[in-house]
Amino acid sequence: MLLSVRNLQKFFGGLRALNGVSLDVEEETVTGLIGPNGSGKSTLFNVVSGFLQKEEGEVYFRDERIDGLNPDEIARRGLIRTFQIDQSALEITVLENLLLSSPNQTGERLWRFIPYFRQIRKEENENLKQAISILDLVRLKHLANEYAGNLSGGQRKLLSLGRMLMANPNLYLLDEPTAGVNPTLIKDLLVFLREEVMAKKGSTIFIIEHNMKVVSDICDKVIVLDSGEKIAEGTPTEIQNNEKVLACYLARRRTHDEESN
Amino acid sequence: MGLFNFFSYFVTITAIYAIFALSLNFQYGHAGLVNFGQVFFFCIGGYTTAIAISKGLHFLPSLVLAMAVCGFAGLLISYTARNMGGTYWGIATLAVGEIVRLIFLNENWLAGGANGISLKMRIPYFEILILLFTAMAFLLTRMIMASPFGRVLKTIREGDDLALSLGKDVFSFKKKAMIVGGILGGLAGALFASQKKFINPEDFFPIETFIVWAMVVVGGKGNDMGTLWGAIIVQVFYVGSRFAKDYIPMSGNRLAALRMVSIGLLIMLTMMYRSKGLVPEKRKMYKVE
């Protein structure tokens, strides 16, 4: 099991954002995480990636315990996440955003930049080639030297996906990667994620997604959260016919309708 | 003062402040560390050199010592940045700068207290040496910022989360930014003391920090070339106001007070019409075929 979460609890004051969640993500699969707004999906990602500290429970990544580690340590172990609200570095260019994402760069050690000058230059050239091919893939090549701050919301989602591909982790945690991206491109990218990233590199994808069409297209397994608890787990077809799931989505919609009336 | 002497004074003092401004630009302009206590390094660098020379050390070794002490001081201060957000940390650094000045003012045994300390020495080719150091400081910051290390610093400037999510040890990068900034600030302080040949705590009021901030902001934060221009422009205002008394019918005291007003005005005008500074930061362009 690549990622195991056991009895995870996270409270914000009196709000139980995660209330004893346990789940597993198997290697070389695409696992979807769905649930109504405020059900705890992003909180789960934040706790797993180390950006929030849990109250109770354990998180195991490649059979090692990672809860309590700093986010950068977790990332260096090969678990990289994107953010629901874009976190691109806006004052550097699109291309630099990608170069930044490459792991284990010699030139990131300050005291090495003179003695390892040649090696750094060689690494930079290799990373540059890779970065440009990734930009081509996410359709941002024509904007390579543009400030990331000048991109639209959807383009920034593509950029964050590009950064992920550059970072090449074992486990991708994608928090709503398709919001604001044009539908045909989404389909291409998700097919790419499944066929190239997963099949060839052996990476695993754990994805928060609201679009059920996307979920049923690419996920092997879907986990459903509601009010901080796991209410269902299964294949996309099973989930779509699960009464509990339907009830939680429909109940929300009904109360919402009543409120708006 | 003859015209040549004055000119050489102007060039050296500008070059010294340019190093000082580069040190702030490294921390604030490149790494986003809002440091309101930059005078801290200037003060410690100056006093370290003065004390070392009074104990019989030569000029260059005492300069290296000042840089080492300030690098270490930068490392110590960076630990306070670990759990403090930008503005709060800025206020803390302001306090640290004042604390150090007050220590030198009140601990008479250390460096003469309010009476100050003199540096008795003659340094051959001092002016050329200062210009060399300025050029080296400039090249060093340029090289660091062109490296992958510099790229991570520029990312951290906008916030920790992205860098953390990509596995960068953000705190370690901030520590190194504080060390490099400290070393440069210490160098500036040491050269300042060596040029002035006498320092006392009055040389290290918080207003010194304000002046280097003016240089960085007017010149263009995040651009080392802009910082050099900022240093020159602010120094022209600062030193040039001495000549103003020949042309403006006003008492010398009043003109000296107007000095700061003019620099404040300069900052305001820059902010209103060139908010990114006179020489804004440039992006790094790559060839994409």
Which pTM was predicted?
0.90
Asked if B164 and A108 come within 8 Å (Cβ–Cβ), the reply is: no
Q: Quick one: average pLDDT of B193-221?
A: 89
Nearest Cα of chain B lies from the Cα of A158 at a distance, in angstroms, of 15
Indicate the angle between helix axes B207-219 and B3-24, nearest 10 degrees.
Answer: 80
Q: Which are the contacts of A174, defined by CB distance < 8 A and separation ≥ 6?
A: A81, A82, A161, A164, A205, A206, A207, A208
Neighbours of A252 (CB within 10 A): 15
Report how far residue B193's alpha carbon sits from residue B66's, in angstroms, rounded to the nearest whole number. 11
pLDDT of residue A127: 93
A231 shares contact with chain B (CB less than 8 Å): no
Count CA within 13 A, CB hemisphere, residue A208. 23
A103 shares contact with chain B (CB less than 8 Å): yes
CATH code reported for the domain at A3-88+169-260: 3.40.50.300
What are the CA-CA distances from residue A10 to residues A39, A54, B204 (Å)?
12, 5, 49
Query: How large a percentage of chain B has pLDDT more than 90?
Result: 44
Instruction: Please check the confidence at residue B50 and state whether its pLDDT lies above 60.
Output: yes
The three-class DSSP label of residue A35 is: coil
pLDDT of residue A142: 92
Q: Which are the contacts of B272, defined by CB distance < 8 A and separation ≥ 6?
A: none
What are the CA-CA distances from residue B88 to residues A107, B37, B213 (Å)?
31, 12, 17
Q: Quick one: average pLDDT of B102-125?
A: 84
Report the number of secondary-structure helices (H) and strands (E) in chain B.
13, 2
Q: Which are the contacts of B86, defined by CB distance < 8 A and separation ≥ 6?
A: B32, B33, B34
Asked if A107 and B147 come within 8 Å (Cβ–Cβ), the reply is: yes
pLDDT of residue A87: 84
CB B144 within 8 A of CB A110: yes
Nearest Cα of chain B lies from the Cα of A252 at a distance, in angstroms, of 32
Q: Sort strands A229-234 and A30-34 into parallel, antiparallel or unpaired.
A: unpaired
Kind plus residue range of the DSSP H or E element containing A23: strand A15-25
pLDDT of residue A258: 52
Which among B155, B167, B281 has the least Cβ separation from residue A75?
B167
pLDDT of residue A250: 65
Report how far residue B97's alpha carbon sits from residue B136's, in angstroms, rounded to the nearest whole number. 26
Q: B158: which chain A residues are within 8 Å (Cβ-Cβ)?
A: 89-91
Report the number of secondary-structure helices (H) and strands (E) in chain A.
10, 10
Q: Which are the contacts of A53, defined by CB distance < 8 A and separation ≥ 6?
A: A47, A68
**Chain A residue whose CA is closest to B162:** A87
Separation of CA B281 from chain center: 19
pLDDT band of B141, cuts 50, 70, 90: very high
Instruction: Please check the confidence at residue B229 and state whether its pLDDT lies above 90.
Output: yes
Nearest Cα of chain A lies from the Cα of B163 at a distance, in angstroms, of 8
A84 shares contact with chain B (CB less than 8 Å): no
Count CA within 13 A, CB hemisphere, residue B218. 26
Report how far residue B169's alpha carbon sits from residue B167's, in angstroms, rounded to the nearest whole number. 6
Q: A90: which chain B residues are within 8 Å (Cβ-Cβ)?
A: 158
Asked if A100 and B166 come within 8 Å (Cβ–Cβ), the reply is: yes
Q: Quick one: average pLDDT of B205-223?
A: 89
Which among B143, B165, B169 has the least Cβ separation from residue A113?
B143
Burial of B275 (0-12, 13-18, 19+ CB in 10 A): exposed
Which pair of tokens denotes residue A55?
């109250």
CB A49 within 8 A of CB A169: no
Report how far residue B266's alpha carbon sits from residue B211's, in angstroms, rounded to the nearest whole number. 11
CB B41 within 8 A of CB B100: no
A100 shares contact with chain B (CB less than 8 Å): yes
CB B74 within 8 A of CB B68: no
Instruction: Please check the confidence at residue B85 and state whether its pLDDT lies above 80.
Output: no
CB pairs under 8 A between A and B: 105
pLDDT of residue A251: 65
pLDDT of residue A227: 87
10-residue stretch averages of pLDDT, chain A, 261 residues long? 91 88 91 89 92 92 92 93 86 92 88 84 92 90 91 86 90 87 80 79 88 85 90 88 80 55 48
pLDDT of residue B226: 92
Report how far residue B271's alpha carbon sits from residue B276's, in angstroms, rounded to the nearest whole number. 7
Which pair of tokens denotes residue A25?
């993500």
Selection from B23, B35, B54 nearest residue B119 by Cα: B54
The three-class DSSP label of residue B19 is: helix
pLDDT of residue A256: 52
B-facing residues of A in 27-66 (CB < 8 A) are 49, 51
Q: Which are the contacts of A149, defined by CB distance < 8 A and separation ≥ 6?
A: A88, A90, A91
CB B179 within 8 A of CB A89: no
Asked if A100 and B157 come within 8 Å (Cβ–Cβ), the reply is: no
Indicate the angle between helix axes A117-137 and A153-167, nearest 10 degrees.
Answer: 130
What are the CA-CA distances from residue A88 to residues A47, A96, A147, B23 (Å)?
21, 11, 10, 27
Q: A49: which chain B residues are within 8 Å (Cβ-Cβ)?
A: 165
Nearest Cα of chain B lies from the Cα of A114 at a distance, in angstroms, of 9
Asked if B165 and A71 come within 8 Å (Cβ–Cβ), the reply is: yes
Neighbours of A24 (CB within 10 A): 15
DSSP for A108-125 reads GSGGGTTTTHHHHHHHHH
The domain segmentation of chain A, as residue ranges, is: 3-88+169-260, 91-150
pLDDT of residue A152: 85
